[in-house]
Structure 1
Amino acid sequence: MLTALGTAAPRGSGHETEFWLHEGVLHTNRLVPWECPSICPEHSQAVKLSLDMPLQSELVNSALIFRANEDFMTDSKEDEICLQVEMTEYQGCAPDQRTKQPVIVVGHTISNSRESTLRQVVTLAAQSGYQTIVKTKKGCYFDCEGLDPALLCATLSTVCKVLLCMRWLGRAKKDDHILILHMPLLFAKLAISLSKELNARITIVVATQEESEELYEASSSGIPIVVVEDMHASHMSPVLEATSGKFSLVICNRFSAAGQEAWRHISAAGRFVLCNEDMEGKLDTGPFTKGASFLPMGYENLGTRQEMAAEILQDGLEFLRKNKDIWTSHVSVYNIDQMPTQSKGSQFKASPGSAEEVHAAVRFNYGESSVKILPPIRRVKFFPDAAYLLIGGLGGLGSSLVRWMTERGCRHFIFVSRSGATQQKAAQTVELAEKAGASVQVFQADAGNESDMRAIVARVMKERPIRGVVHAAMVLQDGLLQGMTAAQYQAAITPKLRIAHVLHSVLINSPLDFFVMTSSISGTIGTPGQTNYSAGNSFLDAFAVYRQSLGLPACSIALPMLLDVGVVAENQTVEDSLQRLGFYGIDEVEMLEGLEVARSPNSPSHLILGLDPSLLHRSAGTNRLFWHGDARLRGVQRDLDLLQGSLRASKPDGEVIGDGEELDYETLMARVGDRIVQKCASMLGREIHEINLSKGTVASYGLDSMIGSELQQWLFGEFGLALSFHAFTAPEMTFEGLARQAVEALGVGSAK
């Protein structure tokens, strides 16, 4: 043990920093994906697809497996109708199972007697993964007679995106000059057809000569096509020269340096449509003074707005019927039981909107295709004659818990809170439970006081047993450790530690079904500025292990930021700060799914939400996350690195130091320094001229822990410069010193 500790490198080095010596064996710590026994592939059975069975796909160990969804009732509301899916849009090898996406579906309508009709229709449905039956509102589906279902599934979503960008948002009209900047080829081809229909000029910018040649062949009308292999601002010169530099409508996939340059040259009253809502860099406000509009387009949200989706879908069908000459001669169609498999080198599908995006259709052959089906999910049920104890559950999280628990049979809630039901949200939570037919007792007390809790538990148990506990108490007292008083440090720890210990002592002899403690991801990875809160949550994680070692139920569920309930939902600043650190948020549904696992008899002692590599990649991009190099997260980091390719691959040195031109050291220092000052001014909410490169320390400009972590990530991603947070707070660290270290990290000396 001493040898291991003596050679241990700091956390972030990639080496082991935590050890456990047990019965002569030295263990190290790892976070590993946890598989619920009910979702293991070995529990699946091969079954022929049946028309009367609603199924939902899940991705388990890179295999597409289905589950019978018993909660799905084909009986529809008056304004709804069910569709038996016959063909649908291909969502890649690894469809996103967590967020609902708008997906084209072709199928037959189903009556309430579960009989399929002969009427074939198409709709745009919001779904996660693949489903055999979908619901849609009446008036939101259309006959598709005369149109090839495979063509619809493979191309109609892109048609809808083109119409949304050009007609709905872009308001393209005759004589407009449209710039399509690095969009997928199918999008560009359809945009060319629509521009002809509108009598508008169009210029296409592509990344390769092969794409250029394919577009020339498809358009056959002399459309200007410019090849720009990367997205540097200076490489937009040929485009600007060829088009006189004025565009009334620009459509691009990401707001890169080239996109920013196109935005700066947009014509008066022009429209700029950003297709994926991802922003890189600061938005120049100059074009706004000319009446220009900047319009981020969130296609992913379209599936939840069915009436709007129906209008765009109807326009898309009309466009396809009028433009039969653009129909592709071949569309790839995969049977649902013969989907393409992921190769080892390409573990993840291309991101939507990328040049590698695959346009294909998926067919459901009922009675023929065999798919693997897991047993139905066994939902948590609560005993109606038992009481359930909730500590600190009267806020935003409490209303979610109450709704979920009453839906599953809970009829008696016991709340213990310092403020009782005096707060508005607490009163709303109580009202919600009572309207659902449950009784509610609220005790205004300190749950960390053992004598008070013994009295409360004894009083409740005279009427009915307590069968479960949720410890959700929390206090935030954020700040840098060196600036905290002992009282501030203890304020965040005590509610977590003392209440857990008291609940354990008071209920040690009670036959509980579950003992759930809401921890935080901060206890696992150590969120900057939350040393005390992290420590309190770490205690809960360890305490759950301790209880399970005694044969008692316990699970500590580490939550990331919750987007629609609790503290983050009420404070946009908190959400913005956490997103800058690379965190992504989960919604109420995912949180409740986690609680369902935590409450189950075979739950792990420590369950962590918010570390899905694909969603981390979507949130952090190519930035280095502050926990990068933590050996415990090696598995997550490996998958994240596969997604990112290389942390600096999309940040060529030329973009930083001048597109490959020869630079002397002074010029290089000036350029890197200017770039750092611009970034810091943006993060700190200051004007650039307020920051002096050589006077005043970095910390003196108001750098806090959140901004410091964001700056850490940016410096690594931009220059490969790895600094600790304490380096920023050093009394000798100026912006000039920071620039000097960044130049050294680039390894260019007197740069080429």
Structure 2
Amino acid sequence: MVLRGARHFAFLGRSGLDKSTARDLIQDLETLGAECVVIKGDVCNPKDAMRLIAATERDIGGVVQASMGLKESLFSDMSNESWHIGIDPKVQGTWNLYNSLQTTGRHLGLDFFLLTSSVSGSVGTATESNYCSANHFLDHFARYLRSQGIPGVSIGLGMISEVGYLHDNPEIEALLLRKGIQALDSDELLQIIDLALSSSLTASTHDDYDLLANAHLLTGMEASGLKRLRKMGFDGTNVAWDDPRASLLANALDGQQLTQSPSHSGKLPAGVMKELDQGKTLAESVLDCIRRRFGNLVLMKYEDVDAKKPLADYGMDSMIAAEFRTWFYQNMKVDIPMLVLLDKISNLETLRDTSLSQLE
């Protein structure tokens, strides 16, 4: 931004300048000739949002809403407090910023209103219903902003490697990788943000079918990363590609359709039908399909997964179990209880038997 001519920055954050990384950022900006104002406060508090707007004496060129909160658990176990930790920074915080701008009449003439969303706003994660919902709100709020003549844009970011939250929390990064979400490096991130900030309000879509579509940029579902996983021996896929709207992405992977073909309709997924076509029994086909998916979840090659080995010995935890349970329900229409997945004696053969009992 400084290289593009920006010289005045105002920041709002709960820790203010308490963290060394924040102090280093301000020092770097000031060394480059920028003026910085730092407000210690919470964007979820309307008064703090108003303090931020009031602290900027000049015309406001643009807004970057990058607040977030994470508190993971299954929705059935999520407390009200945990729900709001994930929801409030993005939902209430965004409204507070927008209302503060509108109240002061400073929402007019913005060059951008950037919302840092996540691919999870489009592709759900079983243990992050609060975070997914909050990002889905951002994706639609950007459309609302454009309908009001404000150049809003929501970037649905996937994994960001090398820097940021996921870099500091590798277990979350591994979870997203298992789901088929591909990483962006810091250079790619800057290019995407550059594209988002440079897009004009009047830019049209290719076919003008959805005039507000430019309000949302989605990343992290590129087929190239899954191709690399497959070359490593993993059966890389993404459950979101079963959605017909994702057919172009699905076809980009080896030029093949990943979604279930019409001849494979019914309860059985395409993977099971493929095994059946090769002459295997239903029990063998279901076990092979389960075994391949589990290998993806724990990042092991198919041939290294022992179907008789207890799931607990592979490091099964609630996050992996939640993803595995979602896969069973979405692909086989089978409901595997969490207690079964987390049971110390359960193995893949146990899951096969449970699946067969519900498929019959």
Unmatched segments (≥5 aa) in structure 2 = 204-213, 261-269
Tell me if 1:558 matches 2:172: no
Equivalent position to 2:336, from 727, 735, 749:
727
In 1, are the aligned partners of 2:62 and 2:110 still within 8 Å (CA)? yes
Counterpart of 2:318 in structure 1 is 704
Structure 1 residue 635: deviation in Å?
3.3
Structure 1 residue 569: deviation in Å?
1.6
Equivalent position to 2:10, from 408, 414, 418:
414
Residue 26 of structure 2 aligns to a residue in which SS? helix
Counterpart of 1:453 in structure 2 is 49
In 2, are the aligned partners of 1:421 and 1:442 still within 8 Å (CA)? yes
Q: CA–CA distance in 2 between the matches of 1:542 and 1:613?
A: 25
Greater share of strand residues, 1 or 2?
Answer: 1
Counterpart of 2:64 in structure 1 is 470
In 2, are the aligned partners of 1:420 and 1:443 still within 8 Å (CA)? yes
CA pair 726-475 structure 1, distance change in 2 beyond 3 A:
farther
Structure 1 residue 606: deviation in Å?
1.1
Q: CA–CA distance in 2 between the matches of 1:578 and 1:625?
A: 10
Structure 1 residue 423: deviation in Å?
0.8
Deviation string 1:33-88 (CA, Å, 9 cap, x unpaired) is xxxxxxxxxxxxxxxxxxxxxxxxxxxxxxxxxxxxxxxxxxxxxxxxxxxxxxxx
Structure 1 vs Structure 2: percent identity of aligned residues?
A: 28
Counterpart of 1:46 in structure 2 is none
Q: What are the residue-to-residue correspondences of 1:109-148 with 2, within 5 Å?
A: none
* Structure label with greater radius of gyration: 1
Structure 1 residue 596: deviation in Å?
1.6
In 2, are the aligned partners of 1:708 and 1:728 still within 8 Å (CA)? no
Residue 516 of structure 1 aligns to a residue in which SS? strand
Residue 573 of structure 1 aligns to a residue in which SS? helix
In 2, are the aligned partners of 1:560 and 1:585 still within 8 Å (CA)? yes
Residue 255 of structure 2 aligns to a residue in which SS? helix
In 2, are the aligned partners of 1:521 and 1:609 still within 8 Å (CA)? yes
CA pair 674-415 structure 1, distance change in 2 beyond 3 A:
closer
Counterpart of 1:567 in structure 2 is 165
Q: CA–CA distance in 2 between the matches of 1:456 and 1:663?
A: 65
Equivalent position to 2:180, from 568, 577, 582:
582
Counterpart of 1:740 in structure 2 is 353
Residue 242 of structure 2 aligns to a residue in which SS? coil
The amino acid of 1:626's aligned partner reads V
The amino acid of 1:589's aligned partner reads D
CA pair 564-644 structure 1, distance change in 2 beyond 3 A:
farther
Q: CA–CA distance in 1 between the matches of 2:252 and 2:353?
A: 33
Counterpart of 1:625 in structure 2 is 238
Structure 1 residue 645: deviation in Å?
7.2
Q: CA–CA distance in 1 between the matches of 2:296 and 2:146?
A: 47
Q: CA–CA distance in 2 between the matches of 1:519 and 1:445?
A: 21
Counterpart of 2:265 in structure 1 is none
Residue 519 of structure 1 aligns to a residue in which SS? strand
CA pair 703-434 structure 1, distance change in 2 beyond 3 A:
same
The amino acid of 1:507's aligned partner reads L
Q: CA–CA distance in 1 between the matches of 2:332 and 2:187?
A: 38
Counterpart of 2:92 in structure 1 is 498
Structure 1 residue 616: deviation in Å?
3.8
In 2, are the aligned partners of 1:474 and 1:495 still within 8 Å (CA)? yes
The amino acid of 1:706's aligned partner reads I
Q: CA–CA distance in 1 between the matches of 2:259 and 2:44?
A: 48
Deviation string 1:361-414 (CA, Å, 9 cap, x unpaired) is xxxxxxxxxxxxxxxxxxxxxxxxxxxxxxxxxxxxxxxxxxxx1121211111
| Aligned positions, number | 319
Counterpart of 1:520 in structure 2 is 118
Unmatched segments (≥5 aa) in structure 1 = 1-404
In 2, are the aligned partners of 1:672 and 1:743 still within 8 Å (CA)? no
Q: CA–CA distance in 1 between the matches of 2:297 and 2:339?
A: 19
Structure 1 residue 740: deviation in Å?
2.7
Q: CA–CA distance in 2 between the matches of 1:457 and 1:561?
A: 31
Tell me if 1:608 matches 2:218: yes
Counterpart of 1:430 in structure 2 is 26
Counterpart of 2:264 in structure 1 is none
Q: What are the residue-to-residue correspondences of 1:274-313 with 2, within 5 Å?
A: none
Residue 336 of structure 2 aligns to a residue in which SS? helix
Q: CA–CA distance in 2 between the matches of 1:618 and 1:638?
A: 16
Residue 642 of structure 1 aligns to a residue in which SS? coil
Residue 409 of structure 1 aligns to a residue in which SS? coil
Q: CA–CA distance in 1 between the matches of 2:39 and 2:282?
A: 71
In 2, are the aligned partners of 1:622 and 1:644 still within 8 Å (CA)? no
Q: CA–CA distance in 1 between the matches of 2:131 and 2:294?
A: 33
In 2, are the aligned partners of 1:678 and 1:688 still within 8 Å (CA)? no
The amino acid of 1:591's aligned partner reads L
Deviation string 1:313-368 (CA, Å, 9 cap, x unpaired) is xxxxxxxxxxxxxxxxxxxxxxxxxxxxxxxxxxxxxxxxxxxxxxxxxxxxxxxx
Deviation string 1:252-309 (CA, Å, 9 cap, x unpaired) is xxxxxxxxxxxxxxxxxxxxxxxxxxxxxxxxxxxxxxxxxxxxxxxxxxxxxxxxxx
In 1, are the aligned partners of 2:142 and 2:154 still within 8 Å (CA)? yes
Structure 1 residue 599: deviation in Å?
1.4
Deviation string 1:694-745 (CA, Å, 9 cap, x unpaired) is xxxx9xx8542335435876x89xxxx9346852426599544422366799
Structure 1 residue 572: deviation in Å?
2.3
Q: CA–CA distance in 2 between the matches of 1:430 and 1:549?
A: 34
CA pair 523-725 structure 1, distance change in 2 beyond 3 A:
farther
Residue 441 of structure 1 aligns to a residue in which SS? strand
CA pair 473-726 structure 1, distance change in 2 beyond 3 A:
farther
TM-score (normalised: structure 2): 0.74
Deviation string 1:224-262 (CA, Å, 9 cap, x unpaired) is xxxxxxxxxxxxxxxxxxxxxxxxxxxxxxxxxxxxxxx
CA pair 448-663 structure 1, distance change in 2 beyond 3 A:
closer
In 2, are the aligned partners of 1:558 and 1:606 still within 8 Å (CA)? yes
Structure 1 residue 674: deviation in Å?
11
Q: CA–CA distance in 1 between the matches of 2:218 and 2:179?
A: 18
Residue 10 of structure 2 aligns to a residue in which SS? strand
TM-score (normalised: structure 1): 0.37
Structure 1 residue 641: deviation in Å?
7.0
Counterpart of 2:138 in structure 1 is 540
CA pair 678-729 structure 1, distance change in 2 beyond 3 A:
closer
In 2, are the aligned partners of 1:476 and 1:491 still within 8 Å (CA)? yes
Deviation string 1:625-669 (CA, Å, 9 cap, x unpaired) is 2324224434323434734779978x9859xx9xx7x9998xx69
The amino acid of 1:607's aligned partner reads L
Structure 1 residue 609: deviation in Å?
1.5
In 2, are the aligned partners of 1:447 and 1:502 still within 8 Å (CA)? yes
Structure 1 residue 673: deviation in Å?
12
The amino acid of 2:20's aligned partner reads Q
Q: CA–CA distance in 2 between the matches of 1:630 and 1:664?
A: 26
The amino acid of 1:729's aligned partner reads M
Q: CA–CA distance in 2 between the matches of 1:580 and 1:430?
A: 36
